[in-house]
Structure 1
């Protein structure tokens, strides 16, 4: 996604919240763990100041349906801080949680090239908004 958006990519712990005001559009995403984004991303969202900014949310998840987005917790935190969620993206990801590790996981090989192309198309669409 960074390419079409001409974006900087940072880990949650590397984000300087005071610099976010410089951006027109901010993306927040990670894999989904037990129905939520990574704990470090949720912690970042909790610590953000109120902002009137456009944002998008993205994720990978081990669910059986790539159209199902487990973004509820992150979306609520961002909206509480004043972010407008302009769009959301999810694709399947390799899931080795709990007993799945015994069988080699679920959705092995995902995200694949088709998923990455969909992510690029999503990013191009979001960049045009």
Structure 2
């Protein structure tokens, strides 16, 4: 299954750790929403969007990439890291996916080291995250996606 993961990982590389964990064992195309140019996503069977959480939602780069480049009728999965997990932060990206005629088939979120705003004054929150168990959890989540039939790399 031909898979692309569009990600935004600005501050501490938290989200990049999740997508790298998947890429270590699976053949996926990683697309940095902030630095890679626009790509035609129509040839991918499965598309992931991954981001840190900024103001309660995915980063602007990922949201814009989804809005401008997500084709219709694609299965989509979501990955995110956040300083303080208090529920899901996928409403905005989920709405874009639905409006584009695609569907979210799963989401995975975990804590990520956060030093934004007032958290910087106390040295940050969620120190040490994502940890190995959480990055392994992202890879296990990917393996369990209902439409994924791709064999792991050897």
TM-score (norm 1): 0.88
* Structure 1 residue corresponding to 2:74, chosen from 35, 53, 57: 53
Where 1:89 maps in the other structure, the secondary structure is strand
Q: Matched residue pairs, number? A: 126
Cα pair distance change 1:76/1:115, threshold 3 Å = same
Q: Which runs of 4+ in 1 moved over 4 A?
A: none
Q: Deviations over 1:32-63 (max 9, x none)?
A: 01101111111112213541111101100111
Q: In the alignment, is the contact (CA less than 8 A) between 2:47 and 2:75 conserved in 1? A: yes
Unmatched 5+ stretches in structure 2: 1-21
Q: Distance in 1 between matches of 2:117 and 2:139?
A: 31
Question: How far apart are residue 116 of structure 1 and its match?
Answer: 0.8
Q: Deviations over 1:75-116 (max 9, x none)?
A: 101111011111001010011121110111000110000101
Cα pair distance change 1:49/1:87, threshold 3 Å = closer
TM-score (norm 2): 0.75
